[in-house]
Amino acid sequence: MAATQRLLNIALPPLSLVLLSSFMIPFLIFKVFIYVRNLFQTDEKLENKVVLITGAASGIGEQLAYEYGRRGAVLSLVDIREDNLVVVAEKARSLGSPDVIIIAADVSKLQDCRRFVDQTVNHFGRLDCLVNNAGIGKPSGFKDWSNASEFTPVMDVNFWGSVYGTLCAIPHLKTSRGRIIVIASVFGWFPLPRSSIYSASKAAVINYFETLRMELGRAISITIVTPGLINTGLGLTVVKERSIMGIFPMLSASELAKSIVKSACRGDMYLTEPSWVKVLFPFKLLYPQIVDSAVRFLIGLSRKRNDSATELKLE
């Protein structure tokens, strides 16, 4: 057994380089073909399609409700903040949605997830698309771990909230050959300091839905969205926490929502917006030591700026 492991350790790395090189050109040709096809592909008709959106009271979820509303979809909007949902539902109707229901629910509770899926199907008679958008974040470093229980809601909402709703919706989505959209984050594969629990929850989401996609095959389409800095409450918190992040332009939630709907209609496996963020991935994969040092340098620079700004205010 040890000899076999040694043989694999020696033989597989150079063999993998040969295989990667041989697949590169055919894969690039395939990507160009897909890109050209998408240019001429007409958008999927969404009139009267049933779309369930969690975390719909604000941010990305709110803008997704408006975008699906403009396209004539009927909506089931879920959030723990019912008052906010009323306002979003009214605007979605005014933009073109024929029917909108609102459901107050906590996605971190399995019984609530069963309830909002059942309510949606009972009202509309079907379910065509589940958007797992509900999420929360809290900046946290190891110094903040005096009470670890404060951070369990992040995993409960971001990860288990997506899992519970999905498991309840799968039988209905199989019937309609529908789709799942899950809002993860670039932080799921490019974590930054003071985002440990949030990054871990989004990494768990990405891995779960990648595995689920393999298990489901073509029965249900799954699009995993990994946004970068978006102009939402959470995005603004990140910039406030680390001022160096303010040098990067923030994408609006409405622009992101349009991209998400188009991407899901095409049946894309992944969507990263803004798209330039994708250049970080090969660096993280191939040069992790350099990336680690660069991030620590930038965060240290940001900390010095914050300290200087604080000193000026005190003076």
User: Distance between CA 6 and CA 169 in Å, rounded?
Assistant: 46
Which of 261, 250, 242, 260 minimizes the C-alpha distance to 309? Answer: 242
User: Distance between CA 212 and CA 199 in Å, rounded?
Assistant: 20
Catalytic residue among 198, 208, 270, 287: 198
SS3 of residue 222 by DSSP: strand
Reply yes or no on whether the pLDDT at 246 is more than 70: no
User: Distance between CA 133 and CA 267 in Å, rounded?
Assistant: 18
Q: Taking residues 90-102, what's their average pLDDT?
A: 97
Instruction: Tell me the residue type at 209.
Output: F
User: Distance between CA 205 and CA 199 in Å, rounded?
Assistant: 10
Q: Taking residues 227-240, what's their average pLDDT?
A: 68
In a 13 Å sphere around the CA of 116, the CA atoms on its Cβ side amount to: 32
Please confirm, yes or no, whether 198 is among the known catalytic residues: yes
User: Distance between CA 35 and CA 93 in Å, rounded?
Assistant: 34
Of 250 and 228, the structure prediction assigns the larger pLDDT to: 228
Q: Determine the straight-line distance between the first and last CA of the chain, rounded to whole angstroms.
A: 68
SS3 of residue 1 by DSSP: coil
SS3 of residue 55 by DSSP: coil
Tokens of 13: 């790395």
| Predicted pLDDT of residue 105 | 97
Task: Report residue 54: phi and psi, to 5°.
Answer: -90, 155
Confidence of residue 248 (pLDDT cuts 50, 70, 90): low
Asked whether the beta carbons of 245 and 271 are under 8 A apart, the reply is no
| Predicted pLDDT of residue 201 | 95
Q: What is the mean pLDDT of the chain?
A: 86
What are the pLDDT digits (tens) for 266-298?
999 999 999 888 888 888 888 889 988 888 887
Confidence of residue 229 (pLDDT cuts 50, 70, 90): confident
Percent of the chain with pLDDT over 90: 57
Reply yes or no on whether the pLDDT at 310 is more than 50: no
Q: Taking residues 240-263, what's their average pLDDT?
A: 78
Of 194 and 75, the structure prediction assigns the larger pLDDT to: 75
3-state helix, strand, coil in the chain (%, to 5): 65, 15, 25
In the chain the domains, ranked by start, together with CATH numbers, are 44-138+146-280 (3.40.50.720)
Instruction: Tell me the residue type at 257.
Output: A
| Predicted pLDDT of residue 194 | 79
What are the pLDDT digits (tens) for 11-39?
788 888 778 778 788 877 877 777 777 76
SS3 of residue 262 by DSSP: helix
| Predicted pLDDT of residue 214 | 96
Task: Report residue 45: phi and psi, to 5°.
Answer: -75, 125
In a 13 Å sphere around the CA of 221, the CA atoms on its Cβ side amount to: 15
Reply yes or no on whether the pLDDT at 309 is more than 50: no
Which of 150, 179, 141, 152 minimizes the C-alpha distance to 52? Answer: 179
* R_g of the chain computed on alpha carbons: 22
| Predicted pLDDT of residue 312 | 36
Confidence of residue 1 (pLDDT cuts 50, 70, 90): confident
User: Distance between CA 309 and CA 246 in Å, rounded?
Assistant: 15
Asked whether the beta carbons of 130 and 73 are under 8 A apart, the reply is no
What are the pLDDT digits (tens) for 109-160?
999 999 999 999 999 999 999 999 999 987 776 666 677 777 899 999 999 9
What are the pLDDT digits (tens) for 187-226?
999 988 878 889 999 999 999 999 999 999 999 999 999 9
| Predicted pLDDT of residue 242 | 55
